[in-house]
Amino acid sequence: MTALKAQSKFIFGGAIIVLAVGYLIVSSIGGSTAYYLTVEEVKAEGLSEHTVRVAGTVVGDTIEWNAQELMLRFKIADASGSLAVIYHGPRPDMLQDGAEAVIEGKYFEGESFEANNLLLKCPSKYEGAATATAEAPVK
Amino acid sequence: MTIVGSGALALAFFISACTAVASILGARRGSPKLVESAQKGVVAAAVLVTSASIILIYLLLARDFQVQYVYEHVSTYQPTIYTLSAFWAGQEGSLLLWLWLLTIFSALIARREESWSRELKPYALALLAFCQAFFALLLVLTSNPFATLPIRPAEGFGLNPLLENFWMIIHPPVVFIGYAAYTVPFAFAIAALVTGKLGEGWIRGIRRWNLFAWLFLGLGIVMGAWWSYLELGWGGYWGWDPVENSSLAPWLVGTALLHSMMIEERRGMFKVWNIVLITLTFALCIFATFVTRSGIIQSVHAFGLSVVGYYFLAFLAGILILSFGLTFYRRRELASEVKLKALLSREASFLLNNLLFVGLALAVFIGTVFPTISEIVRGTQVALGAPFFERVFAPLSLALILLIGVCPRLGWRQTSLRRLLNDLLYPGILALALAVAISVRGVTEPFALLSFTVCTFVASSILWEFLRGTMARHRSTGEDYLLAFRRLITKNRRRYGGYLVHLSMVIIAVGIIGSSLYQTEYQVTLAEGETVTVKDYTLEHEGFWVESSPAKHRFAIPLGVYRDNKRIATLVPEKNFHWNVEQWVTEVAIRTSLKEDLYVILAAVAQDGSASFQILINPLVVWLWIGGGLLLLGTAVAIWPEGRASSKLEMIVGADDCDSSERLAPVE
């Protein structure tokens, strides 16, 4: 076997692996993206087809916490309006009036936003890890 | 005091900058005096930064609230250990820690005389001093830990309650040791490129530094996961958060590097590739510091963009241009000495290993910067969630684990297929037997079945290797089994240390697979005296504790845990209101066993003392931490200097890490 031929075997094999890994990455991006939308955009789009993320501020007096069923309802507001959110799971420690929230989930038209992920930052000017994520159990 | 601290940092910047220049000039002009003065400069910088760090420690312990950093992270009522760990709780302190570690490593290099590094050292020190100057400048200009407040507050804000955890005391320094230590291999790579001394000397010389950095980064990641599991209270240990990701990426590339360096050391191949990997590892370490501290990417750990980010971007660009520019300049000297020949060879399997690790690192990197990139390119932020990472990681890591089982059985140059199959026969049979056994017991999900089978196969092939080696040694030397086993390892530290690390990876993988595929979750509300049964456990609500302290208002509910009518534990989940951050912090309670963790989160407490809980059963989680311990042990074995008396003999025999499989492998 000539040296060149032996080398081409590796270049070919390596290229296949690179392509396979590349394909895996690109194809995985497809189903996992979550667009950041404003409240207005969420409502304009209606029933979400994919997971979306919305950033806003928690409106304190809308927080309703059902401890029996571990169900949480609250509203978040941004410059374009406010959005009712439902979340199942323990109440995150940082959920309070004025907290900056990023919610991830789907909007059901005429109803509310079903969040399966809450990312919260507490309102105090506190650096670093004074934030927490909460994740709803995957059904 | 604060003026002395700031002054020490400013002087450290000045000296480091001068040192970098002097070191290069000295080496260029062949002036030993100049080179020597540069070495002294490095030591001087280390002394200065150490003094600054000690001053900060003193200010923290003295609770001098006039210093802004102390005010923000310390209070009079927090335990002293957290007053100490406040050192790395904020941006200023973390950057100082980085610099401190870096100057210590540089001083060690400056003081150490080794034949392989004689010509490289001035340039390596110049690069290290340059990095020191960067961090010192950053501290002086943007994040001075010694900045003072106009008044002296009577009480400090105190440490963020989430950081009040054992692992948070040691996790940040451990990770930073990893980051800072990766500067050393990079510095020598640049030095080798500049001087053109691109033989195997430098690769061999940096091996230990590289392992050291890799170990600390890896341990740091495991500790961070442990902290997250104990403290963040959502039942998991890894959230694909940008800060977590950005520490994982350099570790993945560093793992690829560990392997491909071996190839260069032994076969003179992969030279350009190694330089690229070293550069990427270091660049990703800087990137990780940047992500944590600049807030460019939204994360649990960091919010709010700060000016530090621009400095980091400029520094990163400088590193990459320097390294890739020099590599291009030296491209002829970097040609491989030999070519790859056979598919069934260790070289080829390392190539595959490298492609997979770099692929994983690339995926982590893409996933982390995706929102930022998409905002720049398309104007809207698009995030990539956990499913993205899981989809990429599941198949690729499984492939890597399979490689762990096969690779070490391949000899250098070429191995015959028959020999390979022969080696893998028993582990294969064992794995298939286990697959049948667990599928009968109800593990039927294809991915779980496949991955557990692969893990068993790999683990047993590693253990088989230990067994075979011990038996062979026992037969040839007549040592008893225990001694033969010990000598087997101590006489071939690199090889068997590596196997232990491999085993630790398999163990960690088992923990990850079990806990991510088989987590079960229950939600219950209990009044005092009521019980609930989840899986094999019965939990009883045993009362209600309330207490108030200067730090927090504490609500805790002790739960008696019974299994088979026997009391096995008392779990006390808590919900505490911390005055300083004005919010609730949930403290989970966990009962750990080898089989599974019972993880209880107190979700809510009502007026009458009844409470809602979220109860999780996380199978096999503890194996993650056990794997972390074995990772430490295995790397320590591999990194430990060979015994002097034996090493000469071993070198003559060539048994260092060139193992029996090489000597036995048929060479064509």
* Res A122: pLDDT: 57
Q: B29-33, B290-294, B465-469, B487-491: lowest mean pLDDT where? A: B290-294
B340 vs A78 pLDDT, higher one = A78
Note whether A24 contacts B523, CB cutoff 8 Å: no
Is the confidence at residue B647, as pLDDT, over 80? no
d(CA B628, CA B634): 10
Distance CA B520, CA B26 (A): 65
Query: In whole angstroms, what is the distance from residue B250 CA to residue B258 CA?
Result: 12
- Per residue in B91-145, pLDDT tens? 889 999 999 999 999 999 999 888 888 889 999 999 999 999 999 999 999 889 9
- Beta-carbon separation of B581 and A122 below 8 A: yes
Res. B42 pLDDT band, cuts 50 70 90: very high
Distance from CA of B236 to the nearest CA of A (A): 9
Is the model's pLDDT at B304 over the cut of 60?
no
Is A119 in CB contact (< 8 Å) with chain B? yes
Write out pLDDT tens, residues B524-578.
Answer: 889 999 999 998 999 999 988 888 888 888 999 999 999 999 999 999 999 888 8
Percent of chain B scored above 70 by pLDDT?
94
Q: Closest Cα partner for B145 from B247, B286, B10?
A: B10
**Which band of pLDDT confidence, cut at 50, 70 and 90, is reported for residue B663?**
very low
A90 or B31, which is more confident: B31
- Beta strand A81-88 with A113-121 is parallel
pLDDT at A121 over 80: no
Check A25 against B363: CB less than 8 A apart: yes
Shortest Cα distance, chain B CAs vs residue A6, angstroms: 6
Residue of B380, B295, B297 lying closest to A38 (CA atoms):
B380
Total length of chain B? 668
Q: Residue A36 is nearest to which of B381, B392, B582, comparing CB atoms? A: B381
* H helix intervals, B379-480: 386-406, 417-440, 446-477
Read off the amino acid at residue B326: L
The conformation of residue A63, written as its DSSP 8-state character, comes to: E
CB contact under 8 A, A65 and B585: no
- A21, A67, A94: residue with CB nearest B396: A21
Q: Report CA A20 to chain centroid distance, whole Å.
A: 27
**Collapsing DSSP states into helix, strand and coil, what is residue B167?**
helix
Of A9, A17, A133, the CB nearest to B343: A9
Cα–Cα nearest to B212, from B175, B178, B169: B178
Distance from CA of B400 to the nearest CA of A (A): 13
The minimum CA-CA distance between B355 and chain A, rounded to whole Å, is: 7
Quick one: B490 exposed, middle or buried, by C-beta within 10 A (0-12, 13-18, 19+)? middle
Q: Per-residue pLDDT tens for A67-94?
A: 778 888 999 988 888 899 999 888 887 7
What secondary structure, in 3-state letters, does B614-638 show?
Answer: EEEEEECCHHHHHHHHHHHHHHHHH
B300 chain-A contacts, CB cut-off 8 A: 119, 129, 131-133
Which of the four pLDDT bands, split at 50, 70 and 90, describes residue B414? confident
CB contact under 8 A, A35 and B523: no
- Please answer yes or no on whether A90 and B586 come within 8 Å at the CB atom: yes
Mean pLDDT for B2-30 is: 95
Residues 72-111, chain A, touching B (beta carbon < 8 A)? 89-91, 93-94, 96, 100, 102, 104
Portion of chain A with pLDDT greater than 90, in percent: 10
**Residue B646 pLDDT greater than 70, yes or no:** no
> How close is the nearest chain A Cα to the Cα of B288, in Å?
15
Q: What mean pLDDT value characterizes chain A?
A: 77
B58 band by pLDDT with thresholds 50, 70 and 90? very high
Three-class DSSP category at A11: helix
Q: DSSP 3-state assignment of B614?
A: strand
Q: How far apart are CA B572 and CA B546, in angstroms?
A: 12
Chain B residues near residue A17 by CB distance under 8 angstroms: 352, 355-356
CB contact under 8 Å between B614 and A104, yes or no, is: no
Is residue B326 over pLDDT 60? Answer: yes
Which H or E run includes A71?
A: strand A71-78
B120 touches B195 (CB < 8 A)? yes
Least confident of A89-98, B146-155, B396-405, B591-600: A89-98
For the cut 60, the answer to whether the pLDDT of residue B664 exceeds it is no
**pLDDT recorded at residue B657:** 41
User: Which residues neighbour B93 within 8 Å (Cβ) at sequence distance 6 or greater?
Assistant: B56, B69, B73, B86, B87, B145
Verify whether the Cβ–Cβ distance B241 to A133 is below 8 Å: yes
3-class DSSP assignment, residue A88:
strand
Q: What is the DSSP letter of B314?
A: H
The gap between the terminal CA atoms of chain A, to the nearest Å, is: 56
pLDDT at position B397 over 90: yes
* pLDDT tens-digit map of B595-617: 999 999 998 888 788 898 999 99
> Cα distance from B666 to chain A (closest Cα, Å)?
18
Min Cα distance B476 → chain A (Å) is: 40
Residue B201 has a pLDDT of 86
Give B345's contacts (C-beta < 8 A, 6+ positions apart).
Answer: B410, B411, B412, B413, B414, B415
**CA–CA separation, A114 vs B258, rounded Å?**
45
Residue B293: what pLDDT?
A: 63
Round to whole Å and give the CA distance between B180 and A40.
46
Chain B hits for A68, Cβ within 8 Å: 525, 612
- Which of A17, A93, A125 is the best residue to mutate to test the B interface, defined by the most B CB atoms within 10 Å of its own CB? A93
Q: How confident is the model at residue B267 (pLDDT cuts 50, 70, 90)?
A: confident
Cβ burial of B272 (10 Å; 0-12, 13-18, 19+) is middle
- The C-alpha atoms of residue B397 and residue B252 are separated, in whole angstroms, by 11
The whole-angstrom separation of Cα B608 and Cα B541 is: 13
3-state helix vs strand vs coil in chain A, percent to 5: 25, 40, 30
B660 pLDDT exceeds 60? no
Cβ <8 Å between A93 and B584: yes
Please tell me if residue A32 touches chain B, with a CB cutoff of 8 Å: yes
Please, are residues A43 and A28 in contact by the beta-carbon 8 Å criterion?
A: no
Residue contact A6–B341, C-beta within 8 A? yes
Helix or strand run (H / E) with residue B480:
none
Per-residue pLDDT, B311 = 84
| Residue-level pLDDT at B582 | 75
pLDDT tens, residue by residue, B171-228: 999 999 999 999 999 999 999 999 988 887 899 989 999 999 999 999 999 999 999 8
Answer whether residue B653 shows pLDDT above 70.
no
Predicted pLDDT of residue B329: 93
Q: According to the model, what pLDDT value does residue A125 have?
A: 36
pLDDT classification of B294: cutoffs 50, 70, 90: low
Which position has the higher pLDDT, A79 or B59?
B59
Residue B83 in tokens? 């007053």
Q: Do B392 and A7 touch (CB under 8 A)?
A: no
Q: Looking at the predicted structure, is the pLDDT value of residue B325 above 60? A: yes
B391/chain A closest Cα distance in angstroms: 6
- B384 vs A32: CB contact, 8 Å cut-off? yes
Q: CA A60 to CA B577: how far, in whole Å? A: 17
